[in-house]
Chains A and B, each alone.
Chain A
Amino acid sequence: MSTSIHVTLAEVAATLVLVAVAVAVSFWRKADLEADIGIAVVRSAIQLTAIGYVIEFIFDQDSLWFVFGLIAIMVVFGAFTAQRRARQVPNAFWPLLLALAIAGVTTLGLVVALGIFKAQPRYLVPVGGMVIGNAMTAAAVTLNRLGDDMTRHAREVEATLALGATSTQAAAPIVRRSLRSGMIALVDSTKTTGLIFFPGTMVGMLLAGASPTDAVRLQLILLWTLLGSVALAGLIAVTLAYRNFFTPAHQLREQPEP
């Protein structure tokens, strides 16, 4: 896996032709996404370039403390970002922060303990980024569904509480559906990987000149690792967040108007 390729700025710039296609489609069909596409392109260029320098710096330092620092920043920003998708969940930030932190640390700890990756920045930074990114998406989708369902099905939840059920029992069907929502996208894409699409890591390795066998094996490792981290993040986020809808006396809290 030591093969490396050199990508010129001209090659990067050439792909803007495909961005122009996206803008043209949006303009032609009045999707009103031209400005968003522009922002997305500029942000992706700035953010990835910046993170490229950060990663290079961390690789040069070769210290795990810098890795932990980078993961911690990703966790905090991830929790803030996911919170925006979970506006209907009261105080969603803390459940999300804990979910991403525990999912990230547990997953990275396990892959190192199992000898899958070495405890070196070169491995932990990219894997950590993938783990936190996917965990963030799963936790955000999970809490988005939780907020929607708790609002839409408040009547059923209160009817269950009225029978003397605990808040855990009353919320159980919604918690189950929310967790399923958070995990289903990755489960489905794992099912269809290799058939309908080639995942990013595998494509990257093939482009970099790795053997298809190595590319496939690394892709499987990452996909299966992500399944675990996504499940952990969704579970922790929803387990902590659903309680915020209830008082200690198992009453539904009055929710502020959205």
Chain B
Amino acid sequence: MLFGLDRVTMVRDGKVVLQDVSASIPRGANCVAGPSGSGKSTLLRLLNRLADPASGMVRYDGTDVRERDPLELRREVCLVPQLPALLEGTVEDNIRFAADLAGREPDVPRLLDLAGLDASFAGRTSSKLSVGEQQRAMLARSLALEPRVLLLDEPTSALDAGARGAVEATLLHLRERVDVSTILVTHDLAQARRMADWVVRLDEGRVVGEGHVREQLAVSG
């Protein structure tokens, strides 16, 4: 298993957000699905140690994530946040910032292409892009790290239907071109069916199902 969560409890602002969560996530295309406020995004942040649980253990490749260097872990298990949060400057500045962190020389046109943007976006000012374009620029920036795992926190929640479909197509296409596992957080079960093979279902901070999407999210009727 790529990730294992063992009786994880997480508290934020004095409220229990995850309660005694145990789950496994394999390599490949995965998702964490559940309604708003079910603790999906919090769980995602535990996987690359943007936060630590109050109790329990998170394992990556069989090792407690707390035993790993958090910076190296985040470059290997990279999170793309729900809302755009690019640095000042151009898209290329953002990509180069990430690549420098990993000590790599980025192939900017290829990274933009992987994220569904054409090469002309390299020189565009990040703050002047649409939300959908910023979301793709964030994906290109994350790919500059050449991560093993991409954590995608509701990547289409701020997009209209057309842009959502385009980002989904980009992500599906991405896995055909790059050897990367994905863990997508979504409240949209139809999107979970389209995008993932394995699902962990959460509700009110507890795991209510885990397994293959075709079994866990079978469409009745």
Contacts and interface: CB of A to CB of B under 8 A. Distances in A.
The residue in A159, A250, A252, A254 that gathers the most chain B C-beta atoms within 10 A of its C-beta is: A159
Contacts of A252: 50
Nearest to B81: A159
B71 A166 contact: yes
Contact of A155 (B72, B79, B83): B83
Contacts of B81: 155, 158-159, 162
Interface string A149-165: 00000011011111111
A173 B88 contact: yes
Q: How large is the interface on A (under 10, 10 to 19, 20 to 34, 35 or more residues)?
A: 10 to 19
A44 interface: no
Interface in B47-83: 48-52, 66, 70-75, 78-81, 83
B85 interface: yes
Contact of A173 (B71, B87, B98, B142): B87
A162 B79 contact: yes
A257 B85 CA distance: 23
A165 B49 CA distance: 13
B147 to A, nearest CB: 9
Given A163-B145, A164-B101, A257 B74 contact: no
B13 interface: yes
A36 B145 CA distance: 56
A251 interface: yes
A159 B48 CA distance: 12
B138 interface: yes
The residue in B48, B70, B97 that gathers the most chain A C-beta atoms within 10 A of its C-beta is: B70
A134 B112 CA distance: 49
B177 interface: no
A79 to B, nearest CB: 29
B42 to A, nearest CB: 12
B12 interface: yes
B131 interface: no
Contacts, number: 63
A158 B102 contact: no
Given A250-B70, A251-B51, A251-B52, A163 B101 contact: yes
Q: How large is the interface on B (under 10, 10 to 19, 20 to 34, 35 or more residues)?
A: 20 to 34
A165 to B, nearest CB: 6
B13 A163 contact: no
A1 interface: no
B197 to A, nearest CB: 24
Contacts of B145: 163-164
Nearest to A158: B50
Contacts of B138: 159
A175 to B, nearest CB: 14
Interface string B25-57: 000000000000000000000001111100000
Nearest to A161: B50
A249 interface: yes
B75 A156 contact: no
B12 A160 contact: no
A162 B50 contact: yes
B87 A164 contact: no
B183 to A, nearest CB: 13
A254 B12 CA distance: 8
A162 B70 contact: no
14 contacts: A155-B83, A155-B85, A156-B86, A162-B78, A163-B78, A163-B97, A163-B98, A164-B72, A164-B101, A169-B101, A173-B88, A249-B66, A250-B70, A251-B52
Given A159-B86, A249-B70, A252-B50, 10 more contacts: A159-B138, A162-B50, A162-B74, A163-B74, A163-B78, A164-B75, A169-B101, A249-B49, A249-B52, A251-B52
Interface of A: 155-156, 158-166, 169, 173, 249-252, 254, 257
